[in-house]
Amino acid sequence: MKQVVVIIACLLLAACGPGDPEAGKRVAEASALAAYPEVPKPGDVPALQAAGKPIFKAAGCETCHSSSHERNGLMGPPLGGVAEAVLAQHKGDPLEARRWMVKHIRDPQRFPGQHAGTDDYRGSAMPPNGMLKDADLRALVEFLWHLP
């Protein structure tokens, strides 16, 4: 009996424990769907952008990314106009492109972007973010999405 319990515990740990290499991927994918069940209606965008701007700062993104086209000596690529490249990577699908941005913010190593394999990637030096709520990610991504 004891052995059975031990075996079941080991199986559970393997499936959902901290050692599960797929766990981070599933969290990121679930966040992408929760944050973006659909593309926001144009009328909702200004409020989302306004909510996302302070999150960009509070979540530490600004320490590595500018929100313009100038790199300003920061480690990460500038994010001005980032939507254009992300859209192109997702066959012009605005929903999948936004969902990818959520996944990239949650787990940059598992969801690498256009800089994978370049000097900008560095394996990636961008830290995963498990702290932001899905609703915050929606606002943050809308802020980034509409950066000119």
Structure tokens at 3: 């052995």
Q: Which of 49, 54, 83 is nearest to 69 (CA)?
A: 83
26 vs 57 by CB, closer to ligand HEC:
57
Q: Does 104 bind ligand HEC (CB under 6 A)?
A: yes
CB of 110 to ligand HEC, least distance (A): 10
Burial status of residue 128 (CB atoms within 10 A of its CB: 0-12, 13-18, 19 or more)? middle
What single-letter DSSP state applies at residue 40? P
Q: Which segment (1-9, 28-36, 38-46, 97-105) binds ligand HEC by CB under 6 A?
A: 97-105
Rounded Cα gap, residues 71 and 110, in angstroms: 24
**Nearest-approach distance from CB 62 to ligand HEC, in angstroms:** 8
127 near ligand HEC, rule: CB under 6 A:
yes
CA distance 28 to 24: 6
Q: Which is nearer to ligand HEC, 16 or 88 (CB)?
A: 88
Residues 78/64, Cβ–Cβ less than 8 Å: no
Query: Which segment (3-11, 20-28, 41-49, 100-108) binds ligand HEC by CB under 6 A?
Result: 100-108
60 contributes a contact to ligand HEC by CB under 6 A: yes
Residues that bind ligand HEC (CB under 6 A): 59-61, 63-65, 75-77, 79, 82, 85, 101, 104-105, 108, 112-115, 120-122, 124-127, 129, 140, 144
